[in-house]
Amino acid sequence: EMALHKAKENGGGSVSLYSDGDIEHAEELFGLERDLTAAVKNDEIEMYLQGQFNGRGDLIGAEALARWLHPSDGMIPPDKFVSIAERSDLIIQLDRKMLQHAASCLANWQAKDLNYTLSVNISPRYFRSKQLKAELEAMFAAANANLRGLVLEVTERLFIDDMHDVIKQMSTISKLGVQFALDDFGTGYSSLAYLQRLPIHELKIDKSFTQGLPKNQRAVSMVNMITAIARNLELRIVAEGIETSAQAEYCEDQHIIIQGYYFDRPQPQDKWNRKWLK
């Protein structure tokens, strides 16, 4: 009943429109949303790290990926909970927690004189909230970390409205030394006209393009085209989803930064640090 009430509140639609399956689904969603709210508050969201490697196979940085260790349902992947969090300001709290983890991680690396970058995914809602710049400065100062190591990953969704304002804010944040990556490039609202205006430093090629490498001619064409654009705009290029030696070789030949299971799987930050910080 509670779920129905909430479904009505949130969706505004009539209850009779829901089939039994939808009701079960809605209950599952609201259950997850409630548990997720508690999980974010109780620090049950963990930061996993996945390494990024240059064309010589040297580690150059990592991406921070959220993992939710649910007390009864076990590990829930972000594909399931990020979209739930994005329905409300919960995503702001989640992304903020990840930035706090990232700040302490970068402080640790920087204290060891390691200049790896750490990339953190930021949802449009947090970016648009206008708190981001002040919070970044406060969090990194508190953790004694330099913002120069931080890369913020945004997607094309961020640029759907008020692009002018978004660009202005990105430029302001960039002045702190923070870099921006355009994640999942080519899967969303992609326009070459806007790409040249964005104050970004990196393009990430989505795994839907890289997974066909090196045999699928269409995949090769797409990756080559994206790479050519990135080179012309003097952007760093990262390929996601690199799983095979043939894919890795292709990227190495093209001087594309590699992120994928072939070199490194996402793992808890302490485990990752033990593996990579010799």
Residues near Mg ion, by CB under 5 A: 121, 153, 183-184, 240
Q: Interface with ligand C2E includes 183 (CB under 6 A)?
A: yes
Element (H, E) at 65: strand 59-70
Q: Is 213 helix (H, G, I), strand (E, B) or coil?
A: coil
Nearer to ligand C2E, 7 or 198 (CB): 198
CB of 184 to ligand C2E, least distance (A): 5
φ, ψ of residue 203 in degrees (nearest 5): -115, 130
- The distance of closest approach from Cβ of residue 184 to Mg ion in the complex, given in angstroms and rounded to an integer, is 4
Residue 149 interacting entry, from Mg ion, ligand C2E, none, C-beta within 5 to 8 Å by type: none
Among 76, 198, 242, 258, binds ligand C2E (CB under 6 A): 242
**For the chain, how many helices (H) and strands (E)?**
12, 10
- Cβ neighbours of residue 97 under 8 Å, at least 6 residues apart? 40, 43, 45
Backbone φ and ψ for 267, nearest 5 degrees, come out as -150, 160
Judged by CB under 6 A, the stretch of 107-115, 159-167, 213-221, 260-268 that binds ligand C2E is 260-268
Minimum separation from the CB atom of position 12 to ligand C2E (A): 26
Q: Compute the least distance from the CB of residue 223 to ligand C2E, in Å.
A: 15
Residue with tokens 């913020």: 152
Q: Which member of 161, 261, 274, 275 binds ligand C2E (CB under 6 A)?
A: 261
Cβ contact 159:166 at 8 Å:
yes
Instruction: Tell me whether residue 7 or residue 200 sits nearer to ligand C2E (CB atom).
Output: 200
In the complex with ligand C2E, the residue whose CB is nearer, 90 or 145, is 90
Site for ligand C2E in 7-46 (CB under 6 A): none
Nearer to ligand C2E, 123 or 227 (CB): 123
As a whole number of angstroms, the distance between CA 87 and CA 30 comes to 11
* 57 lies in the site for ligand C2E, by CB under 6 A: no
Omega before residue 214 within 30° of 0, cis? yes
> Residue 217, Cβ neighbours under 10 Å: how many?
9
**Residue with tokens 């045999």, as numbered in its chain:** 215
Which helix (H) or strand (E) covers residue 202, if one does? strand 202-205
**Contacting positions for ligand C2E (CB under 6 A):** 50, 65-66, 77-79, 82, 95, 98, 121, 123, 153, 183-184, 207, 240-243, 259-261, 266
